[in-house]
Amino acid sequence: MYTRLLPGGHSGPAARGIAKVPIDIEVADPVMARLVMKFGGTSVANVDRIRNVARHVKREADAGHDVAVVVSAMSGKTNELVGWCREAAPLHDAREYDAVVASGEQVTAGLLAIVLQEMGIQARSWMGWQVPILTDGAHGVARITGIDGSGIIRHFEERKEVAVVAGFQGMHEPTRRISTLGRGGSDTSAVALTAAIGADRCDIYTDVDGVYTTDPRIVPHARRLDRVSFEEMLELASLGAKVLQVRSVELAMTQKVRTFVRSSFDDPLDPKPGTLICDEEDILENNVITGIAYSKDEAQITLRRVADKPGVAAAIFVPMAEANINVDMIIQVVSDDTTTTDITFTVGSADFERAKAILESSRDKIGFATLEGATDVVKVSAIGIGMRSHAGVAARAFQALAEKGINIRAITTSEIKFSVLIDSAYTELAVRTLHSLYGLDKPQ
C-alpha cells in the first residue's frame, strides 16, 4: 500500500495502537517505538565512522524498537560522482546522471548493513526503487510523490530486521528510472519514510548536536535550543542555517513528523538529546527571537530608470521564474517625476551571471537605463514566532545596526522573521550585534 504525501498528518503510532512516545524523549523510549534514524555524509565518511553509526543503531535495536536507517553517501563522494558526469560530457542526460550519483548512497547502505550483521543485528539494505520511493520525473531535483513502506514493516514484524535505506533517491514509476532528490535529499527521504511507515519520530544525526541560536563559529557562546517550531526551522533552513534541508522541514511540518537533530559523534551509549523540531503548541514559552541566520549565497541587482508602467515587473520577473531563478528582497523606488523607477532585488550568487544575461537580453522590452550588480553582500535574518505578538522587534535591530555603522541595502519581513541585506564585510559584526540585542547569548 502506497502512502501519498499529502497535506495533513500521517497514520502515526496512535493508528497502530502504539503508545505515543513522550515528547521529552532523550535516549531510549520507555515503550517500544518505531524510529527512523538518518545519518549524513560526515557521519559515514569512512568504515570506522560507519561502525560508530552502527553502535547508535544497535542501541535503539537492543531497546526493542523497530528501526529504519536512512544514509547519505560518504562525505565528498557525491561531489566526486558529479565531477565524473561533467567530465564525461558537459551536457549529459539527467537520467544517467541520476543513475551515477545515486550509487554513493547505495554503497553506504550496503556497508552499514554488513557492519550491523557483524554486530549480530538482523539488517538488510534497501535501494530507493526497492522500497519503493516514488518520485516525479524531474531528474536531479525530483520530489517524492508516494512511498510503499509495507515491505519494511513486514520485515520489522517477521524478522525484527533493521532496514538500511539509501537516501537521496527514488524511482520515477512511469519510466522505472532511478531519480535523485537534489542536495540534502537524504533528510527529505528520512522524513518522508517516517510518515510512510507511521514511525514515532525521526532522528537526524549530523556533525552538530542540535540547532543553535546562531553559528557557533561566529558567536562561541551561541546556545543549543531544546525545541524549535516547524515554522521557525523552515525559516532558519531557508535563510542560511545548514542543519536541515528546506524540503525536509516542509514535509515534517505538513506530515506532523516530530524530528530530532542530534550528533552522531556523541557517545552511542550516552547520546545528548539534541533539538526537537515540533509544533508550536509543544513549546511552552516562545522567545521573541529564536535564532539569527545568515546567507552568503546572495547577489544584488539594481535596474536604474525603469519605465514606471504596467507590465514592467512581469517583464523582469517572469523570465527569472522560467529560468528557475529564485528572486528575493524586491524593492521599488519611484523617482520624483513618477515616470521612472529603480528596482532592486536579490538572487542566489550562483544565478547572478545568468540573471544579468536574461535582463540584458530583455533590455528593450523592460526599458531600463543601466544595470548594477554586487556579489559582496550577505543576508542576515532574525527568526522567532514571538514576533507575532511583539511590536518594534525589527526597529530595534535597525537602530542597533546603525549604531555599529552598518548600512542596510534592503529589508524584507514576514510574520515571524525579518532579513536585512548588508555588505559582507560586516557579517560577523551584524550577527553578534543581533544575537546580543535579543538576549540569545544569555543562559536559560
The answer to whether 40 is a known ligand-binding residue is: yes
Cβ-contact 181, 144 below 8 angstroms: yes
The pLDDT value given to residue 344: 92
- Whether residue 162 has pLDDT greater than 80: yes
For 125-142, what is each residue's pLDDT tens digit? 999 999 999 999 999 999
- Whether residue 8 has pLDDT greater than 60: no
Question: Structural domain of residue 384, as residue ranges?
Answer: 377-437
Query: Look-up: residue for cell 520530489?
Result: 143
The answer to whether 97 is a known ligand-binding residue is: no
Query: Look-up: residue for cell 545568468?
Result: 354
Cβ-contact 198, 13 below 8 angstroms: yes
Kind plus residue range of the DSSP H or E element containing 239: none
Q: What are φ and ψ of residue 125, in 5° steps? A: -90, 150
Q: Between 148 and 183, name the one with better pLDDT.
A: 148
Share above pLDDT 90 across residues of the chain, in percent, rounded to a whole number = 70
Q: What is the DSSP letter of 200?
A: S
Name the domain boundary from 320, 339, 374.
374
* 10 shares its domain with 129: yes
Share above pLDDT 70 across residues of the chain, in percent, rounded to a whole number = 91
Adjacency order of strands within the sheet including 327-334: 327-334, 340-347, 299-307, 370-374
* 271 shares its domain with 345: no
For 75-90, what is each residue's pLDDT tens digit? 999 999 999 999 999 8
Q: Residue 13: pLDDT band by 50, 70, 90 thresholds?
A: very low
The pLDDT value given to residue 7: 40
The answer to whether 39 is a known ligand-binding residue is: yes
* 218 shares its domain with 306: no
* 222 shares its domain with 170: yes
d(CA 260, CA 390): 28
The answer to whether 49 is a known ligand-binding residue is: no
In a domain, 18, yes or no: yes
Cβ-contact 149, 197 below 8 angstroms: yes
The answer to whether 213 is a known ligand-binding residue is: no
* 306 shares its domain with 245: no
In this prediction, residues 204-231 reach a mean pLDDT of 91
The pLDDT value given to residue 444: 63
* 382 shares its domain with 362: no
Query: Look-up: residue for cell 539488517?
Result: 123
For 191-207, what is each residue's pLDDT tens digit? 999 999 999 999 999 98
The answer to whether 243 is a known ligand-binding residue is: yes
Cβ-contact 243, 215 below 8 angstroms: no
Cβ-contact 170, 128 below 8 angstroms: yes
Give the CA angle between residues 67, 231, 254 to the nearest 5°.
55
For 324-360, what is each residue's pLDDT tens digit? 898 988 888 876 666 788 899 999 998 999 999 999 9
Beta pairing partners, 419 = 381, 412
Q: What is the DSSP letter of 310?
A: T
* 148 shares its domain with 219: yes
Cell of 119: 554486530
CATH code of residue 241: 3.40.1160.10
- Whether residue 220 has pLDDT greater than 50: yes
Average pLDDT, the chain: 89
In a domain, 241, yes or no: yes
The pLDDT value given to residue 31: 60
For 81-127, what is each residue's pLDDT tens digit? 999 999 999 889 999 999 999 999 999 999 999 999 999 999 999 99
The answer to whether 105 is a known ligand-binding residue is: yes
Q: What are φ and ψ of residue 244, in 5° steps? A: -130, 150
Model pTM? 0.81
Residue 107: exposure state from Cβ atoms within 10 A (0-12, 13-18, ≥19): middle
DSSP line for 85-146: HHHH-SS--HHHHHHHHTHHHHHHHHHHHHHHHHTT--EEEE-TTTTTEEE-S-TTS--EEE
d(CA 150, CA 237): 31
- Whether residue 28 has pLDDT greater than 50: no
For the chain, the domain total comes to: 3
In a domain, 367, yes or no: yes
The answer to whether 302 is a known ligand-binding residue is: no
- Whether residue 312 has pLDDT greater than 50: yes
Contacting residues for 148 by C-beta, under 8 A, at least 6 apart: 1, 2, 3, 131, 132, 134, 196
Cβ-contact 59, 78 below 8 angstroms: no
The pLDDT value given to residue 402: 96
In a domain, 403, yes or no: yes
d(CA 74, CA 253): 28
The pLDDT value given to residue 246: 86
The answer to whether 242 is a known ligand-binding residue is: yes
The answer to whether 212 is a known ligand-binding residue is: yes
- Whether residue 245 has pLDDT greater than 90: no
* 202 shares its domain with 239: yes
* 250 shares its domain with 346: no
Name the domain boundary from 229, 251, 283.
283
In this prediction, residues 382-401 reach a mean pLDDT of 90
In this prediction, residues 280-303 reach a mean pLDDT of 87
Neighbours of 267 (CB within 10 A): 11
